[in-house]
Chains A and B, each alone.
Chain A
Amino acid sequence: MSDSSGLYVVVLAGGISHERDVSLRSGRRVTDALIAAGHRVVLRDPDAGLLPFLANERPDVVFPALHGSSGEDGSLLDLLAAIGVPAVGSSGAAARRAWSKPVASSLISGVGVAVPESIVLSHESFRELGASSVLKVVRSTLEGDLVVKPASGGSAQGVTIVEDTNDLPRAMVEAFTYAEVAVVERRIFGTEIAVTVVDTGDGPRALTAVEIEPTAGVYSFQARYNAGETTFYAPSRLDEETVARVADAAVLAHGTLGLRDLSRVDFIVDAEGTPWFLEANVIPGLTETSLVPLAIEASNTTAAALYGSLVEAARTRSN
């Protein structure tokens, strides 16, 4: 139990995105932590009754644990701001910058952080220009192994690693079943690192970086949500200098995108120690197998303490 003032917090989880199941798990974890921190918490699935509910209840703070389009595309965050309900996390505009992987990559590249070479393609572009011609350009531009992913979305849904270029069309189809726009990027080999960035009122700081080593080699949906199928190292096995470089890059990415309170920035660190930005998550997974809770634990704090601080910061910000 913290020394919190016992705020009335509504945790939002579920929604109708592809990541509903993950979001529900995150929401339950956040709820447990906030109750442990001494707050009064209601866990709620956003639906047609949500906005009237919030208008009527006037909670002190909303904690969105909505992954995917339900939360991370910024729409709901804008609505919460419009009705004057304080919320933990980024603004709608900042969320949209991070939600679009191409937009985020472009902004992050602009501040000097390495970003994998990529091509962004809509389904429409293939239809208009002919798939064979477009794929030919992709193959000639991006050599080696590729990663094909939807331009938005998380949990590795719709993501394919292409080692044989004959598999590229299938990977495009897979990505387009999740989103209208897909990103094809050069695969960076190295150590997969996730950095949680938090700001409880005294500026953004990186928590202990978490190194990800999936047993099957790829951090797929299965590797993410089945305990035992990935080994995590927190602290990572990187040297101190590299760890500091990755942490700085994460904080820089957080600031560049205008993110607030909490984010998770994912990198691949190559053999030379260069951190390559993959994506930033404005509402990162907070489940039993997620990276942020591991980072919290490795940073000698607790979910109750951190989430409690975040809701208090959000409440203070609104006053």
Chain B
Amino acid sequence: MASDGVPQRTGNNLDPWYANYAERAAGLAASEVRALFAVASRPEVVSLAGGMPYVSALPHDLITSSMEKVMRERGATALQYGSGQGIPELREQILDVMALEGIRGSADNVVTATGSQQALDLVAKLFIDPGDVILAESPSYVGALGIFRSYQANVAHVATDENGLIPEALRQTIAALRGQGRRIKFLYTIPNFHNPAGVTLSAERRPEILEICRSNEILVLEDNPYGLLHFDEPAPNALRSLDPEGVIYLGSFSKTLAPGFRVGWALAPHAIREKLILAAESAILSPSSFSQMVVSEYLATADWRAQIDTFRGVYRERKDALIEALGEYLPQLNWTNPNGGFYVWVTMPDVLDSKQMLPRAVKELVAYTPGTAFFADGRGRHAMRLSFCYPTPEAIRLGIRRLATVVNGELDLLDTFAGTGPLQLPPSAGYDSAPPSDLK
């Protein structure tokens, strides 16, 4: 028991700077969910949680020779600081990549970055003041939500269906926010093979979405890392192709080549581009010259279009395996059936909570990402994201069989306690930890 006779002790909270962190650091904390993801790195676990591309399908010899050539012929440049905007030859080649989705632009307006994630961060840094509102799909990319949170924005999710953002819902959300006097800075959207929802914004809706934003003077931030990874029909032309002045486009080589290079880009209207370059120089001086030059060499010498076709085949086979296994083992659930990309969004009966169920899944050696990670407002508990990009079709089948054991076990448990009181976790304040980027 405490005693007045005991000298005053000084406590130690193990972080002498704890009181000094900025408010925006408040969400940067270890969590149980993130700790559970650590188990997914074990070989026994079938991880349907991460988003790692299947880089084994790449021509490693060709990439090696690209690296060697860069070092042999332009080593001094590759090892040096470069332009904050990125190397000119790669920016020209990026125009060829974007042309596949109907985009015509100038290399002057391309800014390369350390992955499109960095470009996204730079755009957020340029536009967001604390308290601003960002519009996003419902659900949205967990990595974007983390950035928006770090700039102290509020995310307003806009209803989405199998054809992507619902225009009327967008109109109503904007009107409601404006009615509250809120300041909307931009619409963040992943129109193609959405992460995590797996849906694609239909061609019919694209002009309407753009018109709604244009008439409300809202900038559009189009994030398109998966656009070229279609299975059947190609995705409709990019939003940027329809509105060069109202859209910032983010592209990436992480899925069509390899994330290890960390090369992505932004295509922005010229005035924004100028600020992006200055912001990039302020943040990192310049993106990696070596990585950009190797990617450029790869694009110049490899049949990169054929390589994307190879990826499409690999991912299509895996997506088919996932959909088939869901139908066989978990017919009581609902899911999206994407025409490209990496992800399937699974919706469960309301009694099930994917976050609450995760420890059981880990015990059964299967991992997924709980749906709550993809909302800024605590929703998503009855949903989960399943990734099919990394595990083989056989592993995917095994994983879904295990997931069925998890779901049935949880349903059995909930059935045992049915009628005794509320069984689910209380609503969270929103924002779950993002899965680690190296999660398989």
Residues of A within 8 A of B (CB): 14, 16-22, 24, 45, 47, 123, 126-127, 131-132, 135, 155, 157-158, 166-170, 172-174, 176-178, 191, 213, 215, 221-222, 225-240, 242, 269-273, 288-289, 294
Contacts and interface: CB of A to CB of B under 8 A. Distances in A.
B22 interface: no
Interface string B107-149: 0000000000000000000000000000000000000000000
B364 to A, nearest CB: 11
B39 interface: yes
Contacts of B30: 221-222, 225-226
B359 interface: yes
A225 B37 CA distance: 15
10 contacts: A19-B35, A20-B42, A47-B42, A169-B417, A177-B359, A178-B360, A178-B363, A222-B30, A231-B11, A231-B13
Given A131-B417, A233-B9, A238-B3, A173 B423 contact: yes
Contacts of A228: 13-15, 18
Q: Is the interface of B mostly helix, strand, loop or mixed?
A: loop
Interface in B215-231: none
Given A157-B32, A232-B12, A272-B1, 8 more contacts: A16-B39, A21-B36, A131-B419, A131-B420, A178-B363, A213-B11, A232-B14, A242-B1
B414 interface: yes
B87 to A, nearest CB: 39
B418 to A, nearest CB: 8
B422 A177 contact: no
A272 B3 CA distance: 11
Given A16-B45, A132-B419, A239 B1 contact: yes
B401 to A, nearest CB: 18
B424 interface: yes
Interface string B354-383: 001101101101000000000000000000
Contact of B38 (A24, A126, A166, A215): A24
B414 A234 contact: no
B428 to A, nearest CB: 12
Given A172-B417, A173-B413, A158 B13 contact: no
B32 A221 contact: yes
Contacts of A21: 34-39
Given A166-B422, A177-B410, A18 B9 contact: no
A135 B5 CA distance: 45
**From A21, A47, A178, A233, residue with most partner B Cβ within 10 Å:** A21
Given A225-B35, A239-B1, A18 B359 contact: yes
Contacts of A234: 12
Given A135-B420, A222-B29, A233 B18 contact: no
Contacts of A127: 412, 416
B425 A18 contact: no
A174 B413 contact: no
Given A169-B421, A222-B31, A227-B13, A238 B1 contact: yes
A18 B6 contact: no
A17 B42 CA distance: 11
Interface in B11-53: 11-15, 18, 29-32, 34-39, 42-45
Nearest to B414: A173
B271 interface: no
Given A16-B45, A157-B32, A170 B424 contact: yes
Given A221-B32, A233-B11, A238 B420 contact: no
Contacts of B31: 221-222
Contacts of B417: 126, 131, 169, 172-173
Contacts of B413: 123, 173, 176-177
B205 to A, nearest CB: 40
B2 interface: yes
A170 B418 CA distance: 10
Contacts of B13: 215, 227-232
Nearest to A166: B421
**From A21, A170, A177, residue with most partner B Cβ within 10 Å:** A177
A225 B35 CA distance: 10
